Amino acid sequence: MPQGRHTVRPLFGIARQTTLTVGADGRISRWIAVPTLALLETHVLELTRPNH
């Protein structure tokens, strides 16, 4: 993923809209979409970057 801030929008499931940051190495750290997933639980998230 490209470095920078990304908006996370839930399309399906109980996740909340939030933002995450991708580091220069392409890694996401310290971000949790939902605390736990139940058996067979599904979440679909859309990630977008603001225009520069």
Whether pTM > 0.85 for this model: the answer is no
Q: Quick one: pLDDT at residue 35?
A: 82
- Asked if the structure places residue 13 within a domain, the reply is yes
Residue 37 lies in a domain: no
pLDDT (tens digit per residue) in 9-35: 999 988 888 899 999 999 998 888 888
- Domain containing residue 21: 1-31+42-52
**Dist. CA 49–CA 38, nearest whole Å:** 29
Q: Would you state the pLDDT for residue 1?
A: 82
The domain tally of the chain equals 1
pLDDT of 52 reads 52
The pLDDT, as a whole number, for residue 39 is 92
Q: If pLDDT is split at 50, 70 and 90, which confidence band does 40 have?
A: very high
Return the pLDDT at 21: 92
